[in-house]
Chains A and B, each alone.
Chain A
Amino acid sequence: GESVGLHLPTLSVQEGDNSIINCAYSNSASDYFIWYKQESGKGPQFIIDIRSNMDKRQGQRVTVLLNKTVKHLSLQIAATQPGDSAVYFCAENSSNQFYFGTGTSLTVIP
């Protein structure tokens, strides 16, 4: 199967700082990537996606960067807020299936 991993299982940031969550993937044929946010007791919530023909995509306070050369994906959250505290997952699509990483727990310190 696919291997999608995260460099850091936990991340703590001060409120107002920027957060960066990293993800490595193993299948160079993967062509679509999504970042999800999951709060306790809830299902994953879509944050932002990127296709393999792009290297950067921006949303509201979030940016996803894709480096296909080293098979690395990152999620940047600007001006992190307490409501951003959650577990963040990256997912890659390959052959009509999604493969998820184990997640990074983000804690925002007020």
Chain B
Amino acid sequence: NAGVTQTPKFQVLKTGQSMTLQCAQDMNHEYMSWYRQDPGMGLRLIHYSVGAGITDQGEVPNGYNVSRSTTEDFPLRLLSAAPSQTSVYFCASSFHGAEDTQYFGPGTRLTVL
């Protein structure tokens, strides 16, 4: 198994641009989530999904959209990038929801100029 994969590893955007961060897992996990990690603030939950077709907001959802059309994929869309969205983004998944061990991807480092 490849586990949780994320692309790209690095991305630089200009303010106002849009882009999609990709996340995929091959473990047949039901639960997938997106976090952002900023210095001194730990990881904060952006959006999560408990299964295909179901998404919900986390702690810091503004400026981001998600969809879950398949079990494997959970893309994160930045609609109009802002410098405040400069961060490292991690995708995670678990088999049986948040009551189960979450496995993290390697992260995407995003810089918005």
Q: Give the interface of A toward B (CB within 8 A).
A: 1, 4, 31-32, 34, 36, 41-46, 49, 89, 91, 93, 96-103
How far, in Å, is A83 (CB) from chain B's closest CB? Answer: 19
Does B65 sit within 8 A of A, measured CB to CB?
Answer: no
Q: How many residues of B contact A (CB 8 A)?
A: 26
**Is the Cβ of A96 less than 8 Å from the Cβ of B43?**
no
What number of A-B contacts does a CB cutoff of 8 Å give? Answer: 58
**Is the Cβ of B50 less than 8 Å from the Cβ of A44?**
no
Q: Give the interface of B toward A (CB within 8 A).
A: 4, 33, 35, 40-45, 48, 50, 56, 58-59, 90, 92, 97-99, 101-107
Given contact pairs A34-B101, A34-B102, A102 touches B33 in the complex (Cβ within 8 A): no
Indicate which residue in B33, B59, B101, B107 contacts A43 across the interface (CB closer than 8 Å): B107
13 contacts between A and B (CB under 8 A): A32-B98, A41-B107, A43-B92, A43-B104, A43-B105, A43-B106, A44-B43, A46-B101, A49-B101, A93-B99, A96-B50, A102-B41, A102-B42
**Is the Cβ of B98 less than 8 Å from the Cβ of A96?**
yes
